[in-house]
Amino acid sequence: MNGIRRRFRKGIVRILNSDGQPSNHYFGKICHKHPELIGKRLEGNRACYGCFLEAKKKYREINKTEIARKFKQWNEKNREKRAVSQKIWQQKNNEYIKRKSKIYYEKNKAKKAEYLRIWRLSNKDKVLATATTHKIIRKRLICGQKLARTFAREISEIYRFCPTGFEVDHIIPLRGKDVNGLHVPWNLQYLPTLENRRKHNRCMESV
Ligand SMILES: [Zn+2]
């Protein structure tokens, strides 16, 4: 306790986090190795932040394989937990991810195109098969659009009379993994919102 009181005596400036809460850093004596950090130090052991980062890097370099093994082990154990936190992070950092992936895409455009060109040359049968499937899907989509137009009034009525807390759901998904459902009255049903979210793009049978 004494140490803490001494550490944050008058005149010491604690660094605030982005949300305004005090972080575990403060400005203290300027380190002669890291003058650019103007004395940013850790609350715990009062070490210079720059020196701390260097030590951390060194430790990681030495214990690389052990850390990787432990990380993998933890990941396998906490797969679901990690998926949840990852999703939350992605939602929070949507803009950042978009910006980063755009930069990455621009940087590796030529490389990717070259790789794809070579892959296509050596996988002609696969290319042909995909083209055929796309053709079939396009044909089906056009048929579906025609049908949807025919039943437009019924469909709009189904949407209009959807009870609160429910969503209109396609029994066979429009873009399922193996099947493409139709946007027609007999492929529509009311589903509680939560359940609909859970179902997402899968068929009811496989849930
Ligand atoms: Zn330092």
Q: Which residues contact 174 (CB under 8 A, 6 or more apart)?
A: 180, 181, 182, 183
How far does the centroid of ligand 1 lie from the alpha carbon of residue 37, in Å?
8
Start-to-end Cα distance in the chain: 56
Supply the pLDDT for residue 207. 44
Q: 15: which 2 tokens? A: 């660094």
pLDDT (mean) for 31-51: 89
How far does the centroid of ligand 1 lie from the alpha carbon of residue 168, in Å?
61
How far does the centroid of ligand 1 lie from the alpha carbon of residue 21, in Å?
25
pLDDT (mean) for 172-198: 81
How far does the centroid of ligand 1 lie from the alpha carbon of residue 42, in Å?
11
β-bridge mates for residue 16, sequence order: 22
Supply the pLDDT for residue 1. 39
pTM > 0.75: yes or no: no
pLDDT exceeding 70 applies to what percent of the chain? 90
Which one has a higher pLDDT value, 3 or 85? 85
Supply the pLDDT for residue 2. 43
Q: Angle 94-107/79-92 helices, nearest 10 degrees?
A: 90
How far does the centroid of ligand 1 lie from the alpha carbon of residue 68, in Å?
27
Q: For 105-162, give the secondary structure using H, E and C.
A: HHHCHHHHHHHHHHHHHHCHHHHHHHHHHHHHHHHHHHHHHHHHHHCHHHHHHHHHCC
Supply the pLDDT for residue 74. 92
How far does the centroid of ligand 1 lie from the alpha carbon of residue 29, in Å?
10
How far does the centroid of ligand 1 lie from the alpha carbon of residue 70, in Å?
29
How far does the centroid of ligand 1 lie from the alpha carbon of residue 52, in Å?
7
How far does the centroid of ligand 1 lie from the alpha carbon of residue 50, in Å?
5
Cα–chain-centroid distance for residue 192? 26
Q: Which residues contact 44 (CB under 8 A, 6 or more apart)?
A: 24
Supply the pLDDT for residue 11. 58
Supply the pLDDT for residue 203. 52
Is residue 51's pLDDT more than 90? yes
Neighbours of 206 (CB within 10 A): 9
How far does the centroid of ligand 1 lie from the alpha carbon of residue 94, in Å?
34
Which one has a higher pLDDT value, 135 or 22? 135
Residue pair 27/39 in contact (Cβ under 8 Å)? The answer is: yes
